[in-house]
Each structure stands twice: as structure tokens, then as C-alpha cells.
């Protein structure tokens, strides 16, 4: 497992997302309060950048910017069909650092 420091907590405002590169992977990191979520930054449907979608932070759902499919950041599941999943990654906060583990 590799660790990447994606930034400081303050670099990711509450209710927002940032795009990061970790090795050759494009990852979207979302923040809801003190909770952080990391998922592949490519919608499984047609590849849209999910960090550019609408983030419904209270329900921890990202709505894809292209066709508006809703993905749960908690489970990775598509709301209309939970058999479809978004790739999720482990993320943690250590002090002020936000750390991605892949
Ligand atoms: S590309 Fe995301 S719903 Fe179509």
C-alpha cells in the first residue's frame, strides 16, 4: 500500500472536492464536515470527472455532471442500481494532513 499526502485539511473546503493524481490514478477527494472521501475521478458510466459534479454533502452523494447519476460516497453504490459501484479508496487525517492510501 502506498500513501500520498493530498494536502492539508484546509486545502479542501467543507462541501467541496479536489482532483488529485496518485501514481497514475486520478482521484477525487471530497469533504463533508470532518469526513473525507476518496473515489476514482471517473464516473463508471462514461468517465466524467466526478469532482466537477454536484456534491450533496449532507447525504454524502455526488451527482455526476454529465448524466446526473447519483453515487454514494459512503458505499460507492449507484442509487438507482446498487450493483454498480464506484471505486473507493482509503483516506485518513493525520494531524493536519489528508492522506490517501492506495
Ligand atoms: S458519465 Fe456519469 S452518469 Fe454518465
- The CATH code belonging to domain 3-101 is 2.102.10.10
Q: Give the three-state DSSP class for 80.
A: coil
pLDDT confidence bin for 1, thresholds 50/70/90: confident
Quote the ligand 1 centre to 95 CA distance (angstroms): 35
pLDDT in tens, 20-56: 999 999 999 999 999 999 999 999 999 999 999 999 9
Cell 459501484 sits on residue: 85
Burial 69-82 (b: 16+ CB within 10 A, else e): bbbbbeebbbeeee
Residue 48 burial (10 A CB sphere; 0-12, 13-18, 19+): middle
Atom of ligand 1 nearest to the CA of 69: 3
Give ligand 1 pocket residues (Cβ under 6 A).
43, 45-46, 48, 64, 66-67, 69
Predicted model pTM:
0.95
Ligand 1 pocket check: which of 28, 40, 41, 45 to mutate, most ligand atoms within 8 Å of Cβ? 45
Residue 43 burial (10 A CB sphere; 0-12, 13-18, 19+): buried
Ligand 1 pocket check: which of 42, 46, 53, 54 to mutate, most ligand atoms within 8 Å of Cβ? 46
Cell 454536484 sits on residue: 54
Rounded Cα–Cα distance for residues 24 and 83 (Å): 26
Average pLDDT, stretch 14-24? 95
pLDDT in tens, 49-75: 999 999 999 999 999 999 999 999 999
Amino acid at each position: 500500500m502506498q500513501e500520498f499526502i493530498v494536502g492539508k485539511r484546509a486545502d479542501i473546503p467543507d462541501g467541496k472536492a479536489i482532483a488529485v493524481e496518485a501514481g497514475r490514478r486520478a482521484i477525487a477527494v471530497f469533504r463533508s464536515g470532518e469526513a473525507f472521501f476518496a473515489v476514482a475521478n471517473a464516473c463508471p458510466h462514461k468517465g466524467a470527472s466526478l469532482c466537477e459534479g454536484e456534491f450533496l454533502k449532507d447525504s454524502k452523494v455526488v451527482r455526476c455532471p454529465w448524466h446526473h447519476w447519483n453515487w454514494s460516497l459512503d458505499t460507492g453504490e449507484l442509487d438507482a442500481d446498487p450493483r454498480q459501484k464506484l471505486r473507493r479508496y482509503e483516506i485518513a487525517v493525520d494531524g493536519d494532513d489528508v492522506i490517501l492510501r492506495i
